[in-house]
Amino acid sequence: MDKYMSTVKRILAYIGRYRWGVVLSLVLAAVTVATTLYAPILVGNAVDLIVAPGSVDFEGLTKILLRMAVVVAITAVSQWLMNHINNTITYRVVKDIRTRAFRHLEKLPLRYIDSHPSGDVISRIIADIDQFSEGLLMGFTQLFTGVITILGTLGFMFAIDAVIALVVVCVTPVSLLVASYIARKTFTMFQKQSETRGELTSLIDEMLGNQKVVQAFGHQDEAQETFEEINERLRGYSLRAIFFSSITNPATRFVNGLVYASVGIVGAFAAVRGFLSVGQLSIFLSYANQYTKPFNEISGVVTELQNALASASRVFELIDEEPLIPEPDDAVTLSQAEGSVEMDHVYFSYDPKIPLIENFNLDVKPGQRIAIVGPTGCGKSTVINLLMRFYDVDSGKVSVDGNDIRRITRRSLRDNYGMVLQETWLKSGTIRENIAYGRPDAAEEEIIQAAKDAHAHSFIRRMPDGYDTVISEDGGNLSQGQKQLLCIARVMLCLPPMLILDEATSSIDTRTEIRIQKAFAKMMEGRTSFIVAHRLSTIKEADMILVMRDGHIVEQGNHETLLAKGGFYARLYNSQFAAS
């Protein structure tokens, strides 16, 4: 219940920003209820004007009918305005929460992104917030009017006959107890339903993104089994959630039937004894019906609110995740780095139980080309993550131009690096927009020159609309090599003082690679460069080669020195060129 109440308080805090709308909605709800409750009085008065056949006060009836027309018009207008305001408040609250969630997502460390399925994160920001908006809208629309209707009806009934009104009040708590008991049960089920829905979204996202691999390895049956297992769990949680929530309405209807019957029986005796007129009895029966109706509506609202609260709690879990370590107030802005990089006694591991980088030391002078080689999993890409400050070191420090990078603004640090990774990333948009991603204000000539330097210009010209060709998400309609060339062109356009090339030519054919290597050589002149490579033929010209193994530098030197040494690097190199 603590989590339940915490979620409610946070939602109320978001709603509180639009308190003017809430107040106006309450006023309109009161007007709607008041006019709705006044209508039965007019009907009762009209009944009393029909005394007997041939004895009807038509003049009085006409006045009552005109008054009823005005009441109905006021009810319709106030209800429309109330619904419009409720819609406005709901979708503004939803917009605020979704914006906050997405903004926080961009501040989360890569450790969180790497350890959580993307489908689950997407489900929280899209599906869960949509679910929350539906429950909140229903809550606003029906909860306000329902509560005011109950209170207003009681007030009118007490004004007419206190005894019958007391009968209604005595039976009411039974309905409230039943509804509150079932509501507590449904919250847990709806929460599990939301979590499992996120799990299913994650699986579908994973399967869609890797469908070629799934089919290539004949994994369709296993994927189907996994899907059916999660889907079955979702079905079970959904059925239980719906079962518990669906009990609420019949239970409250049963209690409401008791209320209506009690009013009818007591009212009939009162009318027979002359305490009530027939018109007043009809008013009471109408009020009894209107009094019980909100309980049925509120029971449905409670069900939706339970679902909404369960979804909202998952969104708030994302918002509550620990963000990136904030930058110090006196953080340095690195405008144009000279390119000296130092790693001093660095320790780092993704899992505290599994050591990776231990006592790592590196001193790079401006303009040097540093190649990092070693077997898979030795920590090459981890070093890159630490240089870019995608992850913070556990101990020790990484410095650029003598400044600890934890005291440099992340934006300015990364602006001084140009990075081409083995895994390409392109956004939905034109080829021009993708190349100019780092420099949106770049001139057309600069974009074309960067494409030419990356040897991408020729294939871009062959595209249907050249540089204006729209490519799908992640460049799905391009080959892997073409996507890599566009990523290289993106870096060549920016030309920052430091470069990171992590298997940058892994998806390019040998002939193009030779030409790209020449372009890289030109681009790296005077720039500090870090080159991660498995193909050792691409790093012969490096000023220093770091040979890594199990998170440690086991050898370092240039190509000739390391070959002459006959150590680990020599064995790696010779294993690649054994045939020749």
Domain ranges of the chain: 2-319, 365-416+499-580, 423-495
pLDDT 10s digits, 186-203:
767 777 787 788 788 877
**563: its two tokens:** 């070959």
Give me the chain's average pLDDT, please: 79
Q: What was the pLDDT predicted at 77?
A: 92
Q: Can you tell me the distance from the alpha carbon of 255 to that of 250, in angstroms, rounded to the nearest whole number?
A: 9
- Report the candidate in 285, 33, 62, 246 with the shortest Cα–Cα distance to residue 157: 285
- Amino acid letter for position 538: T
Over range 15-27, report the average pLDDT. 84
pLDDT 10s digits, 480-499:
778 888 888 888 888 888 88
Sign of CA dihedral 377, 381, 383, 389: negative
Just give the CATH number of 423-495. Answer: 3.40.50.300
Give the SS3 label for residue 507.
coil
Q: What was the pLDDT predicted at 579?
A: 45
Strand partners, 529: 369, 499
Q: What percentage of the chain exceeds 90 in pLDDT?
A: 1
Q: What was the pLDDT predicted at 476?
A: 62
Residue bearing the bigger pLDDT, 297 or 490: 490
What value, to the nearest 5°, has the Cα angle with vertex 30 and ends 25 and 34?
150
Query: Residue 379: is its pLDDT beyond 60?
Result: yes
Class of domain 2-319: mainly alpha
Poorest-pLDDT segment among 61-70, 244-253, 522-531, 548-557 = 244-253
Secondary structure string (H, E, C) spanning 18-66? CHHHHHHHHHHHHHHHHHHHHHHHHHHHHHHHEEECCEECHHHHHHHHH
Query: Residue 123: is its pLDDT beyond 70?
Result: yes
Sign of CA dihedral 112, 116, 122, 128: negative
Residues sharing a CB contact under 8 Å with residue 188, sequence separation 6 or more, in sequence order: none
Give the SS3 label for residue 87.
helix
Q: Can you tell me the distance from the alpha carbon of 483 to that of 472, in angstroms, rounded to the nearest whole number?
A: 11
Query: What dihedral do alpha carbons 519, 524, 525, 526 form, nearest 10°?
Result: 160
Band of pLDDT at residue 580, cut at 50, 70 and 90: very low
DSSP-derived letter for residue 274 is T
Query: Residue 55: is its pLDDT beyond 70?
Result: no
Q: Is there a shared CATH topology between the 365-416+499-580 domain and the 423-495 domain?
A: yes
Residues sharing a CB contact under 8 Å with residue 350, sequence separation 6 or more, in sequence order: 111, 356, 382, 391
Q: Can you tell me the distance from the alpha carbon of 154 to that of 148, in angstroms, rounded to the nearest whole number?
A: 10
- Report the candidate in 453, 480, 454, 448 with the shortest Cα–Cα distance to residue 466: 448
Identify whether the C-beta of residue 2 lies closer than 8 Å to the C-beta of residue 313.
no
Q: Can you tell me the distance from the alpha carbon of 448 to that of 85, in angstroms, rounded to the nearest whole number?
A: 52
DSSP-derived letter for residue 351 is B
Q: In whole angstroms, what separates CA 342 from the centre of its chain?
A: 38
Query: Residue 437: is its pLDDT beyond 50?
Result: yes
Do you know the residue count of the chain? 580
Q: What was the pLDDT predicted at 179?
A: 66
Q: Can you tell me the distance from the alpha carbon of 434 to that of 471, in angstroms, rounded to the nearest whole number?
A: 9
- Report the candidate in 391, 314, 304 with the shortest Cα–Cα distance to residue 113: 391
Q: Can you tell me the distance from the alpha carbon of 391 to that of 411, in angstroms, rounded to the nearest whole number?
A: 14
Band of pLDDT at residue 185, cut at 50, 70 and 90: low
Class of domain 365-416+499-580: alpha beta
Identify whether the C-beta of residue 266 lies closer than 8 Å to the C-beta of residue 167.
yes
Over range 554-558, report the average pLDDT. 84
How many distinct helices (H) and strands (E) make up the chain?
20, 14
Quickly tell me which residue has 């917030």 as its tokens: 129
User: First and final CA of the chain: distance in angstroms?
Assistant: 71
**120: its two tokens:** 């689950």
pLDDT 10s digits, 93-119:
888 888 888 888 888 887 887 777 777
